[in-house]
Structure 1
Amino acid sequence: MKKKLIVLAISSLAILASCTGKKTTPNAADNDSANVVDTTASNKDNVDLTSVAGTYEGTLPAADCPGIKTVLTINADSTYLLKQDYIDKKDGHDEASGIFKVLDGKVLMLVRPSTGEQTFYKVKDANSIIMTDSMGVEPEGETAKLYVLKKK
Protein backbone atom coordinates (compact mmCIF):
# COMPACT_ATOMS: atom_id res chain seq x y z
CA MET A 1 0.00 0.00 0.00
CA LYS A 2 2.83 2.41 0.90
CA LYS A 3 4.57 1.66 -2.41
CA LYS A 4 1.43 2.56 -4.33
CA LEU A 5 1.10 5.85 -2.43
CA ILE A 6 4.74 6.72 -3.06
CA VAL A 7 4.42 5.96 -6.78
CA LEU A 8 1.20 8.04 -6.93
CA ALA A 9 2.86 10.95 -5.08
CA ILE A 10 5.93 10.91 -7.37
CA SER A 11 3.72 10.75 -10.45
CA SER A 12 1.65 13.68 -9.21
CA LEU A 13 4.77 15.75 -8.51
CA ALA A 14 6.17 14.96 -11.95
CA ILE A 15 2.93 16.07 -13.61
CA LEU A 16 2.80 19.27 -11.56
CA ALA A 17 6.42 20.08 -12.32
CA SER A 18 5.88 19.61 -16.03
CA CYS A 19 2.86 21.95 -16.09
CA THR A 20 4.10 24.93 -14.09
CA GLY A 21 6.01 27.90 -15.32
CA LYS A 22 5.97 26.99 -19.00
CA LYS A 23 4.34 29.28 -21.49
CA THR A 24 3.83 27.94 -24.94
CA THR A 25 2.61 29.62 -28.05
CA PRO A 26 -0.67 28.26 -29.33
CA ASN A 27 -0.44 25.79 -32.13
CA ALA A 28 -2.19 26.90 -35.33
CA ALA A 29 -4.05 23.59 -35.36
CA ASP A 30 -5.55 24.45 -31.95
CA ASN A 31 -7.27 27.53 -33.32
CA ASP A 32 -10.73 27.32 -34.85
CA SER A 33 -10.34 28.01 -38.54
CA ALA A 34 -13.58 30.01 -38.71
CA ASN A 35 -12.79 33.42 -37.29
CA VAL A 36 -15.60 35.60 -35.99
CA VAL A 37 -15.47 38.95 -37.72
CA ASP A 38 -16.47 42.21 -36.06
CA THR A 39 -19.58 43.17 -38.01
CA THR A 40 -18.83 46.88 -37.53
CA ALA A 41 -15.42 46.64 -39.21
CA SER A 42 -15.09 48.40 -42.53
CA ASN A 43 -13.31 45.73 -44.51
CA LYS A 44 -14.32 45.39 -48.17
CA ASP A 45 -14.31 41.58 -47.83
CA ASN A 46 -16.83 41.61 -44.97
CA VAL A 47 -20.56 41.57 -45.58
CA ASP A 48 -22.44 44.83 -45.12
CA LEU A 49 -25.34 43.83 -42.90
CA THR A 50 -27.55 46.61 -44.21
CA SER A 51 -27.23 45.28 -47.77
CA VAL A 52 -27.64 41.64 -46.68
CA ALA A 53 -30.71 42.41 -44.55
CA GLY A 54 -33.91 41.14 -46.12
CA THR A 55 -36.03 38.06 -46.67
CA TYR A 56 -34.67 35.09 -48.62
CA GLU A 57 -36.75 32.21 -49.95
CA GLY A 58 -36.21 28.85 -51.56
CA THR A 59 -36.87 25.13 -51.29
CA LEU A 60 -34.01 23.17 -49.77
CA PRO A 61 -33.56 19.44 -50.45
CA ALA A 62 -34.67 16.90 -47.85
CA ALA A 63 -34.07 13.18 -47.44
CA ASP A 64 -37.56 12.25 -46.27
CA CYS A 65 -39.85 14.61 -48.22
CA PRO A 66 -39.93 16.50 -51.54
CA GLY A 67 -38.23 19.53 -49.97
CA ILE A 68 -38.22 22.17 -47.26
CA LYS A 69 -39.80 25.50 -48.18
CA THR A 70 -37.55 27.96 -46.38
CA VAL A 71 -38.06 31.64 -45.59
CA LEU A 72 -35.13 33.32 -43.83
CA THR A 73 -35.28 36.93 -42.71
CA ILE A 74 -31.90 38.50 -41.92
CA ASN A 75 -31.95 41.75 -39.94
CA ALA A 76 -29.18 44.37 -39.85
CA ASP A 77 -29.10 44.10 -36.03
CA SER A 78 -27.68 40.53 -36.30
CA THR A 79 -30.99 38.78 -35.61
CA TYR A 80 -32.85 36.35 -37.83
CA LEU A 81 -36.21 34.61 -38.25
CA LEU A 82 -36.27 31.21 -39.96
CA LYS A 83 -39.51 29.54 -41.09
CA GLN A 84 -39.45 26.10 -42.65
CA ASP A 85 -42.27 23.95 -44.01
CA TYR A 86 -41.52 20.32 -44.81
CA ILE A 87 -43.50 19.61 -47.97
CA ASP A 88 -46.08 16.78 -47.63
CA LYS A 89 -45.29 16.28 -43.93
CA LYS A 90 -48.01 16.45 -41.31
CA ASP A 91 -46.91 18.86 -38.57
CA GLY A 92 -43.91 19.73 -40.74
CA HIS A 93 -43.64 23.40 -39.76
CA ASP A 94 -40.65 24.78 -37.85
CA GLU A 95 -39.78 28.32 -36.77
CA ALA A 96 -36.71 29.69 -35.06
CA SER A 97 -35.37 33.11 -34.27
CA GLY A 98 -32.14 34.21 -32.70
CA ILE A 99 -28.85 35.87 -33.44
CA PHE A 100 -26.27 35.28 -36.11
CA LYS A 101 -22.57 35.93 -36.32
CA VAL A 102 -20.46 36.68 -39.36
CA LEU A 103 -17.59 34.23 -39.84
CA ASP A 104 -14.67 34.75 -42.21
CA GLY A 105 -16.28 37.86 -43.62
CA LYS A 106 -19.08 36.23 -45.63
CA VAL A 107 -20.53 33.25 -43.74
CA LEU A 108 -23.57 33.81 -41.54
CA MET A 109 -23.77 31.44 -38.57
CA LEU A 110 -27.35 31.25 -37.30
CA VAL A 111 -27.58 30.06 -33.71
CA ARG A 112 -30.83 28.53 -32.44
CA PRO A 113 -31.15 29.73 -28.82
CA SER A 114 -33.14 26.73 -27.54
CA THR A 115 -30.61 24.11 -28.65
CA GLY A 116 -27.44 25.93 -29.69
CA GLU A 117 -27.78 24.30 -33.12
CA GLN A 118 -25.91 26.21 -35.81
CA THR A 119 -26.83 26.66 -39.46
CA PHE A 120 -24.52 28.31 -41.99
CA TYR A 121 -25.26 30.42 -45.05
CA LYS A 122 -22.72 32.13 -47.27
CA VAL A 123 -23.51 35.46 -48.90
CA LYS A 124 -23.17 34.88 -52.66
CA ASP A 125 -24.18 38.33 -53.87
CA ALA A 126 -26.66 41.10 -53.09
CA ASN A 127 -29.62 38.85 -53.94
CA SER A 128 -28.72 35.33 -52.83
CA ILE A 129 -27.26 33.23 -50.05
CA ILE A 130 -26.32 29.54 -50.10
CA MET A 131 -26.44 26.96 -47.32
CA THR A 132 -22.92 25.73 -46.49
CA ASP A 133 -21.08 23.64 -43.96
CA SER A 134 -19.43 25.20 -40.89
CA MET A 135 -16.31 26.06 -42.90
CA GLY A 136 -18.27 27.95 -45.56
CA VAL A 137 -17.78 25.21 -48.13
CA GLU A 138 -20.59 25.29 -50.67
CA PRO A 139 -22.29 22.20 -52.07
CA GLU A 140 -20.87 21.05 -55.40
CA GLY A 141 -22.24 19.52 -58.55
CA GLU A 142 -25.76 19.40 -59.92
CA THR A 143 -27.41 19.79 -56.50
CA ALA A 144 -25.53 22.97 -55.53
CA LYS A 145 -28.23 25.22 -56.98
CA LEU A 146 -30.81 23.56 -54.71
CA TYR A 147 -29.22 25.11 -51.61
CA VAL A 148 -29.59 28.73 -52.76
CA LEU A 149 -32.10 31.11 -51.20
CA LYS A 150 -33.07 34.18 -53.24
CA LYS A 151 -33.88 37.61 -51.85
CA LYS A 152 -37.53 38.64 -52.17
Structure 2
Amino acid sequence: MKNLLKLSLLIVVLSAISCAQKKENREEFKNEHKVEEKRVDGTAPVVVAGEGNRLSIEKLEGNYKGLLPCADCPGIETELKLKKDGTYKLESEYKERSTKIEEEGTFSVSPDGHVILKSNKTGEQETVYFVQNGTIYMVSSASDVEVRPNYKLEKQ
Protein backbone atom coordinates (compact mmCIF):
# COMPACT_ATOMS: atom_id res chain seq x y z
CA MET A 1 0.00 0.00 0.00
CA LYS A 2 2.85 2.39 0.86
CA ASN A 3 4.53 1.58 -2.46
CA LEU A 4 1.35 2.40 -4.34
CA LEU A 5 1.09 5.73 -2.51
CA LYS A 6 4.75 6.54 -3.28
CA LEU A 7 4.27 5.62 -6.94
CA SER A 8 1.17 7.81 -7.19
CA LEU A 9 3.02 10.75 -5.62
CA LEU A 10 5.94 10.26 -8.02
CA ILE A 11 3.59 10.30 -11.03
CA VAL A 12 1.95 13.53 -9.82
CA VAL A 13 5.35 15.22 -9.31
CA LEU A 14 6.63 14.15 -12.75
CA SER A 15 3.43 15.36 -14.42
CA ALA A 16 3.76 18.75 -12.75
CA ILE A 17 7.37 19.06 -13.91
CA SER A 18 6.40 18.17 -17.49
CA CYS A 19 3.58 20.74 -17.56
CA ALA A 20 5.87 23.42 -16.17
CA GLN A 21 8.44 22.74 -18.92
CA LYS A 22 5.78 23.03 -21.66
CA LYS A 23 4.54 26.32 -20.23
CA GLU A 24 8.12 27.60 -19.99
CA ASN A 25 8.77 26.71 -23.67
CA ARG A 26 5.59 28.51 -24.76
CA GLU A 27 6.38 31.65 -22.73
CA GLU A 28 9.99 31.65 -23.93
CA PHE A 29 8.79 31.55 -27.54
CA LYS A 30 6.30 34.39 -27.04
CA ASN A 31 8.89 36.59 -25.36
CA GLU A 32 11.58 35.82 -27.95
CA HIS A 33 9.51 36.35 -31.12
CA LYS A 34 6.70 38.83 -30.38
CA VAL A 35 4.70 37.51 -33.33
CA GLU A 36 1.33 38.57 -34.72
CA GLU A 37 -1.04 37.11 -37.31
CA LYS A 38 -1.99 38.85 -40.54
CA ARG A 39 -3.61 37.73 -43.76
CA VAL A 40 -1.56 37.80 -46.93
CA ASP A 41 -3.56 38.24 -50.15
CA GLY A 42 -6.76 37.04 -48.45
CA THR A 43 -5.31 33.62 -47.59
CA ALA A 44 -4.68 31.92 -44.28
CA PRO A 45 -3.07 33.98 -41.54
CA VAL A 46 0.72 33.85 -41.47
CA VAL A 47 3.34 35.22 -39.11
CA VAL A 48 4.69 38.67 -39.79
CA ALA A 49 7.69 40.26 -38.16
CA GLY A 50 7.17 42.64 -35.31
CA GLU A 51 9.88 45.01 -34.15
CA GLY A 52 12.80 42.88 -32.97
CA ASN A 53 11.12 39.71 -34.21
CA ARG A 54 13.39 36.95 -35.45
CA LEU A 55 10.57 34.85 -36.93
CA SER A 56 9.28 36.36 -40.18
CA ILE A 57 7.50 35.20 -43.31
CA GLU A 58 10.79 35.26 -45.17
CA LYS A 59 12.41 33.00 -42.58
CA LEU A 60 9.42 30.64 -42.36
CA GLU A 61 8.87 30.34 -46.10
CA GLY A 62 10.87 27.50 -47.68
CA ASN A 63 11.42 23.76 -47.86
CA TYR A 64 11.74 21.64 -44.73
CA LYS A 65 12.94 18.03 -44.90
CA GLY A 66 13.44 15.16 -42.51
CA LEU A 67 12.99 11.47 -41.83
CA LEU A 68 10.04 10.92 -39.50
CA PRO A 69 9.51 7.72 -37.49
CA CYS A 70 7.33 4.93 -38.87
CA ALA A 71 5.91 2.03 -36.84
CA ASP A 72 6.42 -0.64 -39.49
CA CYS A 73 9.07 0.75 -41.86
CA PRO A 74 12.50 2.41 -41.58
CA GLY A 75 10.99 5.90 -41.74
CA ILE A 76 8.96 8.42 -43.69
CA GLU A 77 10.97 10.77 -45.88
CA THR A 78 9.06 14.03 -45.52
CA GLU A 79 9.28 17.35 -47.34
CA LEU A 80 7.12 20.32 -46.39
CA LYS A 81 7.07 23.37 -48.66
CA LEU A 82 5.69 26.51 -47.02
CA LYS A 83 4.91 29.29 -49.47
CA LYS A 84 4.66 33.03 -48.86
CA ASP A 85 1.00 33.07 -49.94
CA GLY A 86 -0.05 30.84 -47.03
CA THR A 87 -0.21 27.57 -48.98
CA TYR A 88 1.79 24.39 -48.49
CA LYS A 89 2.68 21.13 -50.18
CA LEU A 90 3.51 18.10 -48.05
CA GLU A 91 5.17 15.05 -49.63
CA SER A 92 5.66 11.87 -47.59
CA GLU A 93 7.39 8.77 -48.93
CA TYR A 94 7.50 5.58 -46.87
CA LYS A 95 10.94 3.94 -46.98
CA GLU A 96 11.09 0.42 -48.48
CA ARG A 97 7.53 0.77 -49.80
CA SER A 98 6.03 2.15 -52.94
CA THR A 99 3.78 4.48 -50.95
CA LYS A 100 4.02 8.21 -51.60
CA ILE A 101 1.45 10.69 -50.29
CA GLU A 102 1.09 14.27 -51.50
CA GLU A 103 -1.09 16.80 -49.74
CA GLU A 104 -1.77 20.47 -50.46
CA GLY A 105 -3.63 23.13 -48.56
CA THR A 106 -3.26 26.27 -46.53
CA PHE A 107 -1.31 26.89 -43.37
CA SER A 108 -1.52 29.34 -40.53
CA VAL A 109 0.94 30.25 -37.82
CA SER A 110 -0.29 30.86 -34.31
CA PRO A 111 1.19 33.62 -32.15
CA ASP A 112 2.93 31.01 -30.01
CA GLY A 113 4.77 29.44 -32.96
CA HIS A 114 2.62 26.57 -34.21
CA VAL A 115 2.32 25.94 -37.95
CA ILE A 116 -1.14 24.46 -38.57
CA LEU A 117 -1.77 22.73 -41.89
CA LYS A 118 -5.30 22.57 -43.31
CA SER A 119 -5.90 20.13 -46.16
CA ASN A 120 -7.60 21.21 -49.38
CA LYS A 121 -9.14 17.72 -49.66
CA THR A 122 -10.82 17.54 -46.27
CA GLY A 123 -10.85 21.17 -45.19
CA GLU A 124 -9.77 20.00 -41.76
CA GLN A 125 -6.63 20.46 -39.72
CA GLU A 126 -4.19 17.76 -40.72
CA THR A 127 -0.86 18.32 -39.00
CA VAL A 128 0.61 20.69 -36.44
CA TYR A 129 4.26 21.70 -36.15
CA PHE A 130 6.08 23.79 -33.55
CA VAL A 131 8.75 26.23 -34.79
CA GLN A 132 11.96 26.51 -32.80
CA ASN A 133 15.33 27.91 -33.93
CA GLY A 134 14.64 27.56 -37.66
CA THR A 135 13.53 23.94 -37.33
CA ILE A 136 9.95 22.71 -37.19
CA TYR A 137 8.87 19.77 -35.06
CA MET A 138 5.73 17.69 -35.57
CA VAL A 139 3.60 17.90 -32.41
CA SER A 140 0.30 16.40 -31.31
CA SER A 141 -1.72 19.63 -31.00
CA ALA A 142 -1.60 23.41 -31.25
CA SER A 143 -0.98 23.62 -27.50
CA ASP A 144 1.95 21.17 -27.53
CA VAL A 145 5.42 22.73 -27.39
CA GLU A 146 7.36 19.60 -26.47
CA VAL A 147 10.26 19.21 -28.89
CA ARG A 148 10.80 15.60 -30.01
CA PRO A 149 14.12 15.26 -31.88
CA ASN A 150 12.87 12.34 -33.99
CA TYR A 151 10.00 14.46 -35.35
CA LYS A 152 11.93 17.35 -36.86
CA LEU A 153 12.04 18.86 -40.31
CA GLU A 154 15.00 21.12 -41.01
CA LYS A 155 14.96 24.07 -43.38
CA GLN A 156 16.91 23.39 -46.57
In which range does the TM-score fall when normalised by the shorter chain?
A: 0.5 to 0.7
2:133 counterpart of 1:129: no
Larger relative helix fraction: 2
2:156 counterpart of 1:148: no
2:97 counterpart of 1:89: yes
Aligned mate of 1:119, from 111, 124, 127: 127
Q: What SS class does the counterpart of residue 37 from structure 1 fall into?
A: strand
In 2, the alpha carbon distance for the partners of 1:96 and 1:56 equals 15
Alpha-carbon contact 1:45-1:105 (below 8 Å) kept: no
Q: Under a length normalisation based on structure 1, what TM-score does the superposition of the two structures give?
A: 0.64
Amino acid at match of 1:79: T
In 2, the alpha carbon distance for the partners of 1:40 and 1:146 equals 25
Partner of 2:16 in structure 1?
none
How many equivalent residue pairs?
112
In 2, the alpha carbon distance for the partners of 1:136 and 1:47 equals 19
- Alignment CA distance shift 1:79-1:66 (3 Å): same
Q: Unmatched 5+ residue regions in structure 1?
A: 1-35
Q: Under a length normalisation based on structure 2, what TM-score does the superposition of the two structures give?
A: 0.63
Partner of 2:113 in structure 1?
106
Q: Unmatched 5+ residue regions in structure 2?
A: 1-35, 39-45
Matches within 5 A, 1:70-85: 70-85=78-93
**Which is higher, the Rg of structure 1 or of structure 2?**
1
Amino acid at match of 1:37: E
Alpha-carbon contact 2:47-2:111 (below 8 Å) kept: no
Larger relative strand fraction: 2
Could you say what the CA RMSD is over the residues aligned between the two structures, in angstroms? 2.3
Identity across aligned pairs (percent)? 29
In 2, the alpha carbon distance for the partners of 1:112 and 1:105 equals 21
Deviation at 1:78, TM superposition (A): 0.9
- CA offsets, 1:15-50, max 9 Å, x none? xxxxxxxxxxxxxxxxxxxxx933365535684111
- CA offsets, 1:46-78, max 9 Å, x none? 841111111111000111211100011111111
In 2, the alpha carbon distance for the partners of 1:117 and 1:150 equals 22
